[in-house]
Amino acid sequence: MSNLPHYQQQQQTVTFAYSQGALQLTVLTPTIIRVFSNRGESGHSYAITGNKQQSTPFTLTTKDNHYELRTSALTVSLDADRHIDVYDAQGAPLVTDYRGERHLLDKGVDKVHQKLVEAEGHSATTQSAHDADYFQVVKDLASDEQLYGLGDKTGYLNKRGFEYDNWNIDYPDPQLEILPNIYKSIPVMLGLKNGHPYGLFFDNPYKSHLDLGKEDPHYYVYSAVAGNLDYYILGGHTLKDIVTAYTYLTGRTPLPQKWTLGYQKSRWGYSASQTEVQAIADNLKKYDLPCDAIHFDVDYMDGYRVFTWDHTKYADPQKFIARLKARGIKVVPIIDPGVKQDPDYPVYTTGVAQNYFVKTPTGEVYINKVWPGDSAFPDFGRPAVRQWWANNTKFLTDLGVAGIWNDMNEPASFDGEIPENTVFYDQDQPATHRKMHNVYGHNMAQATYEGLKQHQGKRPFVITRAAYAGTQKYATVWTGDNRSMWPHLQMMIPQLCNLGLSGFSFVGTDIGGFASDTSPELLTRWIEAAIFSPLLRNHAAMGTRRQEPWAFGEPTLSIYRKYLKLRYRFIPYLYDLFAQESHTGLPIMRPLVLNYPTDHQTQNLDDEFMVGDQILVAPIVQKSKRQRLVYLPAGEWVDFWTHQTYAGQQDIVVQAPLDKLPLFIKRQTLLPWGPAVDHIAETPDSSMTFQLFGDQGTYDHYQDNGSNFDYQTGQYNCYHLSVDPHQVSVTLTHHGFSAAYQTIHLALSDRVVTFTYDAQTTSYRQI
């Protein structure tokens, strides 16, 4: 006991004076405890904004050989050797320090052979040398412990047994399960240890590495090249509680504009010609394909200069954008960070004059190559630079664009990597690329979000490729340059589900595959599998086979159309999920394990997902497959197409011809069924239908203007619908948005019940 360090308590922070360096525990809430040890790094968190500490009762007691800090949800024990062990309220271990030695992987190669193996381009390294800034955290791994999250990684749902890096990269080759990192660094991990849920968030932007039981099945390792030891332990009763706690800490995806849930059409190359964009819009109409947006890739700009529009290709972009908008199609242009080095280009000259670009250690503007050739890189870590960038977005909002797509913001560079010692600012303090790399895209997305908010007054629609923990507050994300190959369709499910567990609810992949040539069957299965993906965008690379649904004729076109139309029917449900998500952080697209964490069958399920709590989707993700096993968890499940009911907790064989997406609705569910439209209208719907699956159910439905921030001052409606064997009822539980539905239909199994609105009593009457 005498070996225990002294401590000092200041409100909810306790500092333990270990000889190896002080260690601080801060109680933020009953379910969030921060572990911090200052290793000399200054600066603040980019993931967490505002003060998240709530007044929380806790106790600190001295036991025989350790201290014990206890909230209602978590108990942290600290011993004389600086070991930290965390338990849940029942005393079950969640996160405990590993006391043994590490056993580095023996890759069976000596120095001589290592060179030989590497000569053919293979990697044979065991462990690289570390400098003094390096540190590691090693925690026990139980035999029954599953690990999820980590943001945007390749591979499978359960991350156990793999290793990953957090360092944002632009990786154009096929992204397979062996790849440790791609475009985003989101160092949050969710665990289920012997069925007990927890989360760990390492808030450190420096390059970090996670070995999740690959090196040794008895422990997992977090290590970083530098930074403070700064992590958060998250607790709760369920995995959902962990996601809610994590998104309380790092922020939630705000309610999006409703049209952003519509179909979006893209291809690198469309925007090189106004005629081509017009032809795409015409074909969407001609082939009766609903759509809400066309994305403009880099070709619309004047020589890839950001915040310019090529007038030789577009006589009057503003008019053209307005014409598309009148037909229900919005324009979302790309903006990359690289600013062309050109003395006659005001964005460049202003950036130089104001010192807004990152610099070499000797003080010159740092130049590397991206699409425009030699380019300078805005120093987005600085508030002034973010404001400048936000101001620049006015060029685009004045032309009438509806959102902005941020790309290449890892940042990517064609002429070798940006040296680590390049000077990037951390707010107003000089720092390095090494420190600011992983938050570059995050800060760019924030600047873009602020710009759109200032200039449009609507909920900003920003899409970003690079991200850090917390970027979900500013942007939707897509998973970058996938390929038209079946493994990438398979990967979409765990990739988007893990992003959802990591706070990113508004996510999507390039449907059909970005690089390489798609095939009619792959495109068909991809649109089926992605139809509930929050961001629904078909995007392809220049130089690949055409990927518009009409490019393949029948039956591709009809099947594609059938699913797009189905998507629009479900948009009110997706929008309801977003309204809930903005309060809970729970994602739209969910792995089954989030809804059924104690069911072992769900813990490694890579080819099914749920949409909210009610819909189960089991797409075909293998070539030539026409049937598959579907695991149904507890409850009863109704086949969406046949209305046949199945008992849960069993695998069933489902036939899935090319035009069928296996889809199940939890029995006793009431779901909204939006109108058949070819785009999301700006005028409010006057009527809504709800469909019952089973013979009773209740549902809470949200409605607002789908566009701006009026809902934040109460201008929204909430409806409670209920069907039981004796009664069908509709209640307007919150009435703040004037355009309440005039009629509401409830489609029961044997009849449709209709209600009409009585403005006088603000209530619904059955007719």
Residues within window 632-691 making contact with ligand GLC, judged by CB under 6 A? none
Burial class (CB in 10 A: 0-12, 13-18, 19+), 2: exposed
**Ramachandran region, residue 40 (left: φ > 0; alpha: ψ -120 to 50; beta: rest):** left
**Exposure class string for 594-607: b at 16+ Cβ within 10 A, else e:** bbbbebeebbebbb
Question: In 471-629, where does DSSP find H-type helix?
Answer: 486-501, 520-530, 556-584, 592-595
Residues within window 532-551 making contact with ligand GLC, judged by CB under 6 A? 539
When asked if residue 298 is in the footprint of ligand GLC (CB under 6 A), the reply is yes
**Cα→Cα distances 250→164, 181, 199, 233, 469, Å:** 21, 21, 13, 13, 7
Least Å from the CB of residue 464 to ligand GLC: 11
Least Å from the CB of residue 550 to ligand GLC: 21
Cα–Cα distance for residue pair 721/671, rounded to 1 Å:
10
Cα–Cα distance for residue pair 420/434, rounded to 1 Å:
5
Query: Which of 242, 511 has the CB closer to ligand GLC?
Result: 511
Catalytic residue among 88, 152, 407, 704: 407
Cβ of 210: how many Cβ atoms within 10 Å? 25
Cα 401 from chain centroid (whole Å): 23
Least Å from the CB of residue 391 to ligand GLC: 23
Read off the tokens for 31.
Answer: 């379910």
CB 227 within 8 A of CB 37: no
Query: Which of 471, 691 has the CB closer to ligand GLC?
Result: 471
Query: How many alpha carbons fall within 13 Å on the CB side of residue 495?
Result: 29
Least Å from the CB of residue 537 to ligand GLC: 10
When asked if residue 407 is in the footprint of ligand GLC (CB under 6 A), the reply is yes
* CA-based nearest residue to 531, from 547, 550, 511: 511
Q: Vertex 446, ends 206 and 477: CA angle to 5°?
A: 80
Cα–Cα distance for residue pair 370/335, rounded to 1 Å:
12
- SS3 (DSSP) at 89: coil
Beta strands 373-376; 367-370: pairing state: antiparallel
* CA-based nearest residue to 755, from 764, 720, 724, 763: 764
Least Å from the CB of residue 481 to ligand GLC: 5
Task: Pick from 231, 268, 380, 424 the residue near ligand GLC by CB under 6 A.
Answer: 268
Query: Which of 290, 480 has the CB closer to ligand GLC?
Result: 480
Residue sitting closest to ligand GLC (CB): 268
Cα–Cα distance for residue pair 473/505, rounded to 1 Å:
10
Cβ of 716: how many Cβ atoms within 10 Å? 18
Query: Which of 298, 511 has the CB closer to ligand GLC?
Result: 298
CB 715 within 8 A of CB 736: yes
Cα–Cα distance for residue pair 683/680, rounded to 1 Å:
9
Query: Which of 297, 607 has the CB closer to ligand GLC?
Result: 297
Query: Which of 268, 526 has the CB closer to ligand GLC?
Result: 268
Catalytic residue among 230, 336, 481, 678: 481
639 is catalytic: no
How many residues are listed for the chain in this entry?
A: 767
When asked if residue 88 is in the footprint of ligand GLC (CB under 6 A), the reply is no
Query: Which of 298, 593 has the CB closer to ligand GLC?
Result: 298
Residue position matching structure tokens 């992983």 = 438
Least Å from the CB of residue 455 to ligand GLC: 23
Residues within window 16-55 making contact with ligand GLC, judged by CB under 6 A? none
Catalytic residue among 85, 215, 230, 410: 410
Least Å from the CB of residue 443 to ligand GLC: 19
When asked if residue 608 is in the footprint of ligand GLC (CB under 6 A), the reply is no
Least Å from the CB of residue 530 to ligand GLC: 16
Beta strands 184-185; 467-468: pairing state: parallel
Query: Which of 183, 741 has the CB closer to ligand GLC?
Result: 183
Query: Which of 190, 401 has the CB closer to ligand GLC?
Result: 401
Report the number of secondary-structure helices (H) and strands (E) in the chain: 13, 49
Sign of CA dihedral 182, 186, 187, 191: negative
Residue position matching structure tokens 């209305």 = 643
Least Å from the CB of residue 605 to ligand GLC: 29
Residues within window 321-380 making contact with ligand GLC, judged by CB under 6 A? 334
CB 251 within 8 A of CB 52: no
Residue position matching structure tokens 């390792």 = 221
Question: How many residues touch ligand GLC (CB under 6 A)?
Answer: 10
Least Å from the CB of residue 544 to ligand GLC: 11
Strands (E), 92-195: 93-96, 135-140, 145-149, 163-166, 184-185, 188-193
Read off the tokens for 343.
Answer: 């003395």
481 is catalytic: yes
What's the maximum distance between 2 C-alpha atoms anywhere in the chain?
Answer: 87
Task: Pick from 85, 215, 297, 379 the residue near ligand GLC by CB under 6 A.
Answer: 297
Least Å from the CB of residue 465 to ligand GLC: 6
When asked if residue 481 is in the footprint of ligand GLC (CB under 6 A), the reply is yes
Residues within window 485-514 making contact with ligand GLC, judged by CB under 6 A? 514
Least Å from the CB of residue 540 to ligand GLC: 8
When asked if residue 410 is in the footprint of ligand GLC (CB under 6 A), the reply is no
Instruction: Tell me which amino acid residue 391 is.
Output: N
Residues within window 169-208 making contact with ligand GLC, judged by CB under 6 A? none
Instruction: Tell me which amino acid residue 513 is.
Output: G
When asked if residue 306 is in the footprint of ligand GLC (CB under 6 A), the reply is no
Least Å from the CB of residue 172 to ligand GLC: 7
Task: Pick from 93, 191, 411, 480 the residue near ligand GLC by CB under 6 A.
Answer: 480
Cα 43 from chain centroid (whole Å): 25
Query: Which of 377, 575 has the CB closer to ligand GLC?
Result: 377
Starting at the earlier edge strand, list the strands of the sheet with 163-166. Answer: 135-140, 219-224, 208-211, 163-166
Q: 259 CB contacts (<8 Å, ≥6 apart)?
A: 292, 293, 330, 402, 679, 680, 706
Query: Which of 241, 407 has the CB closer to ligand GLC?
Result: 407
Query: Which of 297, 450 has the CB closer to ligand GLC?
Result: 297
417 is catalytic: no
Query: Which of 270, 345 has the CB closer to ligand GLC?
Result: 270
Strands (E), 90-187: 93-96, 135-140, 145-149, 163-166, 184-185
Cα–Cα distance for residue pair 254/545, rounded to 1 Å:
36
Q: Which residues are catalytic?
A: 407, 410, 481
Residues contributing to the site for ligand GLC (CB under 6 A): 268, 297-298, 334, 407, 465, 480-481, 514, 539
